[in-house]
């Protein structure tokens, strides 16, 4: 779940230079709405609109300005009403929490606090205003945690229902089947003797696989189908997109079992059932296996020197002139150095957010640019990814989190509507 604080940080980190013109003394300012006794001005609305437009443009879709303006104004009204409620309830972050939030913004952007201030100033954003907006965002998060999140409970019955619903959904969807085939083609003009010889060829291929040879290897050698280069793998397809001859032949088979030879208009087929998708009702998790080289800022390297050194390592690795594991063993200041920097298989949430975010953007084999985290400077390479089954206990814990998140979102929407409904809102001129 992305927090309001994250959204704000994204907005500030890319605060456009064009915002300065919106803040100029000549910009028209007037009250566009009043929430209880607190006004929302045109300058506030236009600045927020500009930030949202910048964010949406990077995602490739910006709604019509009139529609976006209404949505942004409604967001401001909701925030203003919630901030007033927070003051009434005494919900407010202390200065230490705001300081930590500022440090997190700097860390996410891999800059020092002084550099963050410099960039804000260059973009026409007052640091005091930046801190005030962060304080408001923290207040909204704390208010939501108190009024919504803390009141949501998930029972064991809720978790049981989650699995029943998931199983019903899986059964309601069309079955998906992954098959591999060996095709021995039969020409239309083939004589009876030729047909018998080709059938015998298909039977021999089947017997080779049953004797222990890899299906993919036999397919690559024997099959007349274009998919022979991929070991005969037809991919995971809905059952209705496969020939009924194939579906009927594997209907009662277990994964890995063989069928055939089957005769079709194309020839003789030997099939292997690779997978049925109905087994997907069980929860799985995507795991990443990564390795890293860590330099800790200290007497040996400052942050800039560590970054430069790791950039040199990356160039050597990408050029094939150095081995990542060897560099990690010789240089990394982490306990994983003895394993060539290998961090093992990891699920989401096992690393600090800044490390995990950079890691998740890499394809297997890719090396990221040096990353600054609270532990030092890292050079990260993703080695592999996999979909791993969860134990029953892990499945129930994941289900609990999914159910809780859904309940929180539903409760938050209702709570927002209640807060909005209790507030006096007067709409004035909209630009």
Q: Are residues 108 and 240 in the same domain?
A: no
Q: Are residues 15 and 136 in the same domain?
A: yes
Neighbouring-strand partners of residue 371: 378
- Range in 66-75, 279-288, 416-425 with the lowest mean pLDDT: 279-288
Give the predicted TM-score (pTM) of the model: 0.54
Kindly report the average pLDDT of the chain as a whole number: 83
Q: Are residues 228 and 365 in the same domain?
A: no
Res. 429: pLDDT tops 70: no
Can you tell me the mean pLDDT for 22-50? 79
Question: ∠ CA 238-241-243 to the nearest 5 degrees?
Answer: 120
Q: What is the pLDDT of residue 203?
A: 93
Q: Are residues 319 and 274 in the same domain?
A: no
Distances (CA, A) of 151 to 87, 144, 147, 381, 399: 20, 10, 7, 41, 18
The total domain count for the chain is 3
Distances (CA, A) of 281 to 171, 243, 395: 9, 25, 11
Longest CA pairwise span in the chain (Å): 95
Res. 326: pLDDT tops 90: yes
Contact residues for 104 (Cβ-Cβ < 8 A; gap 6+): 9
Residues of the chain with pLDDT > 70, as a percent, come to 89
Q: Domain end: 281, 303, 337, which one?
A: 281
Res. 19: pLDDT tops 50: no
Closest CA to 227 of 190, 178, 278: 178
More confident residue, 125 or 404: 404
Q: Are residues 271 and 290 in the same domain?
A: no
Residue count of the chain, please give it. Answer: 431
Q: What is the pLDDT of residue 170?
A: 66
Q: Are residues 75 and 186 in the same domain?
A: no
Q: Are residues 213 and 325 in the same domain?
A: no
Residue 411 falls inside a structural domain = no
Res. 385: pLDDT tops 90: no
Per-residue model confidence as pLDDT tens digits over 253-280: 888 889 889 998 888 999 999 887 755 5
Q: What is the pLDDT of residue 14?
A: 35
Residues of the chain with pLDDT > 90, as a percent, come to 33
Q: Are residues 55 and 15 in the same domain?
A: yes
Can you tell me the mean pLDDT for 166-180? 75
Q: What is the pLDDT of residue 11?
A: 37
Q: What range does the domain containing 294 cover?
A: 284-389
Residue 218: which CATH number? 3.10.50.40
Residue 418 falls inside a structural domain = no
Can you tell me the mean pLDDT for 23-48? 79
Residue 91: which CATH number? 1.10.4030.10
Q: Are residues 29 and 112 in the same domain?
A: yes
């Amino acid at each position: 779940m992305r927090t309001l604080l994250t959204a704000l940080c994204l907005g500030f980190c890319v605060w456009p230079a064009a915002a300065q013109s919106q803040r100029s003394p000549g910009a028209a300012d007037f009250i566009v709405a009043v929430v209880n006794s607190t006004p929302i001005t045109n300058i506030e609305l236009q600045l927020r609109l500009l930030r949202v437009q910048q964010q949406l443009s990077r995602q490739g879709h910006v709604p019509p300005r009139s529609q976006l303006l209404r949505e942004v104004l409604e967001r401001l009204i909701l925030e203003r009403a919630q901030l007033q409620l927070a003051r009434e309830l005494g919900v407010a972050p202390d200065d230490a929490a705001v300081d930590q939030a500022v440090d997190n913004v700097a860390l996410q952007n891999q800059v020092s606090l002084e550099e963050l201030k410099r960039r804000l100033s260059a973009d026409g954003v007052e640091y005091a205003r930046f801190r005030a907006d962060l304080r408001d965002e923290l207040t909204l998060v704390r208010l939501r945690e108190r009024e919504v999140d803390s009141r949501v409970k998930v029972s064991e019955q809720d978790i049981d229902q989650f699995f029943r619903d998931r199983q019903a959904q899986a059964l309601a969807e069309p079955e998906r089947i992954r098959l591999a085939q060996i095709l021995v083609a039969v020409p239309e003009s083939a004589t009876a003797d030729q047909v018998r010889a080709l059938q015998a060829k298909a039977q021999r291929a089947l017997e080779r696989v049953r004797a222990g040879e890899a299906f993919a290897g036999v397919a690559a050698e024997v099959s007349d189908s274009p998919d022979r280069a991929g070991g005969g793998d037809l991919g995971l397809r809905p059952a209705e997109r496969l020939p009924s001859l194939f579906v009927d032949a594997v209907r009662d088979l277990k994964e890995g079992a063989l069928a055939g030879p089957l005769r079709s208009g194309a020839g003789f087929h030997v099939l292997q059932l690779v997978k049925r998708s109905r087994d997907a009702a069980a929860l799985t998790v995507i795991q990443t296996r990564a390795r890293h080289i860590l330099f800790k800022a200290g007497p040996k390297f400052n942050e800039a020197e560590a970054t430069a050194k790791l950039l040199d390592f990356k160039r050597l690795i990408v050029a094939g002139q150095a081995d990542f594991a060897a560099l990690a063993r010789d240089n990394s200041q982490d306990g994983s150095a003895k394993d060539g920097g290998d961090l093992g298989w990891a699920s989401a949430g096992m690393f600090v957010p800044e490390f995990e975010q950079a890691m998740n953007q890499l394809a297997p084999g890719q090396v990221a640019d040096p990353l600054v985290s609270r532990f030092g400077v890292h050079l990260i390479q993703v080695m592999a990814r996999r979909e791993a089954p969860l134990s029953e206990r892990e499945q129930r814990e994941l289900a609990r989190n999914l159910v809780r998140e859904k309940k929180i979102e539903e409760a938050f929407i209702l709570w927002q509507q209640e807060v909005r409904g209790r507030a006096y809102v007067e709409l004035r001129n909209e630009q």
